[in-house]
Amino acid sequence: MLRLDPIRKLLELAGDPSNPTAEELAELFDRTETIAVIGLSRDPDKAAQQVPSYLASKSYDVIPVNPDANRILGKEGYNTISDVPQSVDLVVIFRPSDKAGRFVTESGRRSERPAIWLQEGIWAKPEIEAVRAGGLTAVQNMCAYRVHRFLNAGNGAPTGPSSRKS
């Protein structure tokens, strides 16, 4: 059984009552295989590389989206989320709040309708509300690393693609 109280506390601290519930976040990570990361950094000292590196280490297929880098974490990078050819389950955005909205909107236009995640400290209220109104799962002001770590801490069964490998 998952221990969700730490996730509930993170949700409370995030300050967006429309964020998914702890149970919904657990389900999101469990069904996700491919994560596009907008703003994935080449700098290993930045959270914008550390969080995606962690997720990749948990068997998620992490796709870099950064117009300034052809390859990051050994993977081909793309200029925009629209350029990513494969299906994406989750888009994680590492861009400042004043720039994040356009990436939320662009991500929400993808045909497979991925979930959208704005990292801790990043807000795009009107755009997040718009994609939620369109039926997409959207998270803002939360750290994907912290949520995933809490979901996998002492729960006995990991969450995500590594839990499905035989």
Q: pLDDT tens for residues 74-124?
A: 999 999 999 999 999 999 999 999 999 999 999 999 999 999 999 999 999
Q: Tell me, what's the pLDDT at 156?
A: 47
CB-neighbour burial class of residue 130 (10 A; exposed 0-12, middle 13-18, buried 19+): middle
* Distance of alpha carbon 93 from alpha carbon 36, whole angstroms: 8
Residue with the two structure tokens 């519930």: 21
Q: pLDDT tens for residues 89-101?
A: 999 999 999 999 9
CB-neighbour burial class of residue 104 (10 A; exposed 0-12, middle 13-18, buried 19+): buried
Q: pLDDT tens for residues 52-61?
A: 999 999 999 9
5 close to 147: Cβ distance less than 8 angstroms = no
Q: Among 148, 133, 127, which residue's Cα sits nearest to residue 52? A: 148
Positions of E strands within 39-93: 61-65, 71-72, 75-76, 90-93
Model confidence at 153, in pLDDT bands (50, 70, 90)? confident
CB atoms within 10 A of CB 57: 10
For each of the domains in the chain, give its residue range(s) and CATH number, in order of start: 5-153 (3.40.50.720)
